[in-house]
Amino acid sequence: MTQDVLTDEALNTTYLIGGILAVVVVFAIAFFIIKKIGKDPKNVLPINLAGRIRIPLLIFLLSLFLKVCLFQDVFSNAELIDLVKHASTIGIIISFTWFLIVFLKVFKERLLKKYDFNTDNNLKARKVYTQFTILENIVIFILILLAIGISLMSFESIREVGLSLLTSAGIAGIIVGLAAQKAIGTLLAGIQIAITQPIRLQDAVIVEGEWGWIEEITLTYVVVKVWDKRRLVVPSTYFIENTFQNWTRKSADIMGTVFLYTDYNVSFDAIRAELTRLLEGSPLWDKQVNVLQVTDATEKSVQIRILVSAKDSPTAWDLRVYIREKLIDFIHQNYPQSLPRTRVELPQQDQNPSESVSPKPKDPSAK
């Protein structure tokens, strides 16, 4: 009988070694085929798909092999059988979830290839990118949540606890809801942003007095890239509950304002002609808006407001800086007397010498 047991253990060991070698061979063949298919541009599969699924594919094959071992009664120890059973089940769930996430990302990438994100007028592309990015995060979150739940339910003890808690699910739901009210509100705000889209990727916004671009949108927070390369991490609820400026809500083109302060004797027509000359010679101008107006006058100077337009907010900023520098230089060279100045006039009193009063003589008795 001892010899039979040793023979069974030797067969089981041989079976395990052979099975592991078979898993390695199958994995290598599948990896090679998927990689070769991905290199063909006619196929829908991306080039890097093989590298993205190699880990879940290996987990899936190993878990499948362990399931086969259980059916063949390779393991004799009861505790080992229970461990292998749960490990193989969780491995299959994890690998299957991983496959779904990878193919979801591949589907999104293939769909978004039709939209060019780098063009000047990319409003539709930014809209689609924003929707799919947030919806992708929602689907991934649900898939991971389901995978964790199914994995936990594979344990008999946890399943019994879950069934016993069904009787108090209403009270527990209220308690959990109150405790996680803020977290749930943040998640719902992320979903609302995906549907209503008050912001999109690459939108130019002003948040908390900071000007920047929407760099990343997740379910719980939004990353704003400030002009000086700092990052503002803002909760998703901020864009639902607070007021903020979105400069590219409908289109990327935008107007810029330049203010100049000069003396009253400046030639407005000359400045207007110089502004037109500068705009026509600049590639930053989109040839839409060219306005110069006197918008205010004080006791010291006049205020000149200049309106110009550009294709997007960064270009408008560069155009404003350029116009401001050149017009200040123009006024300084051609109308230096028209720079802002403060006037002080002292009135002179005319006095007749014949009417001058002689000083009083001193009293000799005064000490």
Please check whether residue 192 lies inside any domain of the structure: yes
Regarding whether 9 and 140 lie in a shared domain, the answer is yes
147 shares a domain with 88: yes
Report residue 354 as tokens: 């014949």
Asked if 23 contacts 61 with a C-beta cutoff of 8 angstroms, the reply is: yes
Q: State yes or no: pLDDT of 83 exceeds 50.
A: yes
Cα–Cα dist 191/141, whole Å? 12
Q: How far is 68 from 91, CA to CA, in rounded Å?
A: 14
Higher pLDDT, 128 or 9: 128
pLDDT score at 232? 92
Q: Do 143 and 165 lie in a common domain? A: no
How many residues can be counted in the chain? 367
Verify that 166 and 130 share a domain, yes or no. Answer: no
Asked if residue 91 belongs to a domain, the reply is: yes
- Minimum mean pLDDT among 37-51, 144-158, 169-183, 224-238: which range? 169-183
CA separation for the pair 70, 19 (Å, rounded): 13
Q: Is residue 350 part of a domain?
A: no
Residues 193 and 46 grouped into a single domain: no
Calpha distance 105→41 (Å, rounded): 18
The answer to whether residues 100 and 235 belong to one domain is no
CATH number of the domain bearing residue 209: 2.30.30.60
In a domain, 65, yes or no: yes
In a domain, 12, yes or no: yes
Give yes or no: residues 133 and 281 share one domain: no
The position carrying tokens 């404003």 is 320
Could you tell me if residue 119 is inside a domain? no
For 357-367, what is the mean pLDDT?
Answer: 50
Query: Residues 216, 316: one domain?
Result: no
Residue 178, pLDDT above cutoff 50: yes
Examine the domain organization and report whether 170 and 97 are in the same domain.
no
Is 149 found in the same domain as 1? yes
pLDDT score recorded for residue 233: 93
Q: Are 308 and 245 in contact (CB under 8 A)?
A: no
Judge if 20 and 77 occupy the same domain.
yes
Closest CA to 287 of 247, 321, 319, 330: 319
What pLDDT is stored for residue 4 in this prediction?
A: 47
What is the pLDDT averaged over residues 344-363?
57
Q: State the chain's mean pLDDT as an integer.
A: 78
Q: For residue range 196-241, list pLDDT tens digits in order.
A: 888 888 888 999 888 888 888 888 889 999 988 899 999 888 998 8
Give the other-Cβ count within 10 Å of 343's Cβ.
7
How high is the pLDDT of residue 224?
93
Question: What distance in Å separates the CA atoms of residue 170 and residue 154, rounded to the nearest whole number?
Answer: 24
Same domain, 68 and 150: yes
Asked if 46 contacts 75 with a C-beta cutoff of 8 angstroms, the reply is no
Residue reference for tokens 């461990």: 83
What's the number of CA atoms in the CB half-sphere (13 Å) around residue 338?
22
| 234, 250, 266 - which closes a domain | 250
The model carries a pTM of 0.56
- Lowest-pLDDT range of 86-95, 310-319, 322-331, 353-362: 353-362
Q: What is the pLDDT of residue 1?
A: 47
Mean of the pLDDT values across residues 158-173?
A: 53
Q: How far is CA 218 from CA 60, 64, 112, 114, 288, in A?
A: 30, 35, 18, 23, 36
- Cα(76)–Cα(1) distance, integer angstroms: 16
What average pLDDT does the segment 46-58 reach? 77
Q: Select the more confidently predicted residue: 321 or 251.
A: 321
Average pLDDT over residues 259-267: 91
Distant-in-sequence, close-in-space partners of 311: CB < 8 Å, separation ≥ 6: 120, 252, 253, 286
- For residue 357, is it within any domain? no
Q: How far apart are CA 283 and CA 272, in angstroms?
A: 19
Asked if residue 41 has pLDDT above 80, the reply is no
The mean per-residue pLDDT over the stretch 151-166 comes to: 63
Output phi, psi for 274, to 5 deg: -65, -35
pLDDT at 163: 52
**pLDDT class for 352, splitting at 50, 70, 90?**
low
Amino acid present at 23: V
pLDDT at 66: 81
Give pLDDT tens digits for 301-330: 899 999 998 888 788 889 999 999 999 999
Q: Above 50 in pLDDT, residue 288?
A: yes
Q: Which domain holds residue 199?
A: 158-250
The number of distinct structural domains making up the chain is: 3
The last residue of a domain, from among 250, 277, 304: 250
Reading the block at residue 299, the tokens are: 């006791």
Both structure tokens of 274: 């110089």
DSSP-assigned beta bridge partners for residue 213: 204, 225
Task: Tell me what pLDDT residue 234 has.
Answer: 92
Q: 327 near 271, Cβ under 8 Å?
A: yes
pLDDT at residue number 277: 93
Write the CATH number for 318.
3.30.70.100
In this structure, is residue 364 part of a structural domain? no
* Average pLDDT, integer, range 141-163: 73
Q: Under DSSP, is residue 329 helix (H, G, I), strand (E, B) or coil?
A: helix
- Within its chain, how far is the Cα of 130 from the centroid? 9
* Single-letter code of the amino acid located at 285: W
Contact 320, 275 (CB under 8 A): no
